Amino acid sequence: MNAPSTGMDIKAGAERSALTLYGEALSSRMLIGTAQYPSPQVLAEAVEASGAGIVTVSLRREQARGRTGERFLQLIADLGVRVLPNTAGCHTVKEAITTAHMARELFDTPWLKLEVIANDDTLQPDVFGLVEAASALCADGFNVLPYTTEDLSVADRLLAAGCRVLMPWGAPIGTGRGLANPYALRSMRAYFPDVPLIIDAGIGAPSHAAQAMEMGFDGVLLNTAIAKAADPVRMARAFAQAIEAGRSAYEAGLMGVRDMAQPSTPVVGTPFFDLRKDGA
């Protein structure tokens, strides 16, 4: 029996199809969140199994943890992967900008996952505040990865503000519903062929991640589907394999969809076809 794939195996495969964000080549097309894991050890093992090159950390959440937060941040540092601070929980432009500056000082990085939340029930982005905050932060030297919707006009404004990556949601955060609006997401992919697009939020199963990659998206960010699994480490590995498979399928060229059946083996001219034709 073959041994299960390891994080190193996933990284080796991902290197064949590297993702580049803000001029930096990453080891994986998978980004992983760090919240809700049953223990720090499980988190560390899940990140290793995933092969992810980026982990996200909510600064506001870790501030609330106090001394426990300090130990958590040390754990994150020990993972040896890029940290992407997150302004999760911010509802105003001022909150997001203040949190971003604190994160840059604490983590010594200009990279930022920008969230400005409009609604507590859906956790939908406040697209107006998002564009305003992105404009200010990009002008201040941040490498902004905005959590946004699939709206093309919002995407245009974020790119004009200076963002070089977009992170449209698949579905509301934590719902696990997958790609709720695949038509709009395909349109977004086609409309911005040269912009790195990473599906963020709503992914609940490896098949959802594979679907996003088959559609040509450049990466997937997820958290709850791994952290809340019965076996987070095994689930992290499953997602990594799905993302790699989906990307490979996209690059190989998926067959087109047809309205009518078409046999894979021609029957015209074969003896069996002739016998049926003659009524024998």
**Where is the binding site for 1-deoxy-D-xylulose 5-phosphate, in residues?**
174, 201-202, 223-224
Strands (E), the chain: 19-21, 24-26, 30-33, 54-58, 82-86, 111-114, 143-148, 167-168, 198-200, 219-222
Binding residues: 174, 201-202, 223-224
**11 Cβ contact list (under 8 Å, min separation 6):** 27, 28, 51
8-state DSSP, 221: E
Among the options 94, 113, 228, 277, which is catalytic?
A: 113
Tokens (6 digits) for 159? 């790119």
113 is known as an active-site residue: yes
Contact 71, 260 (CB under 8 A): no
Contact 86, 60 (CB under 8 A): no
Bridge partner residues of 114 (DSSP)? 146
Would you call 60 helix, strand, or coil by DSSP? Answer: helix
Active-site positions?
113
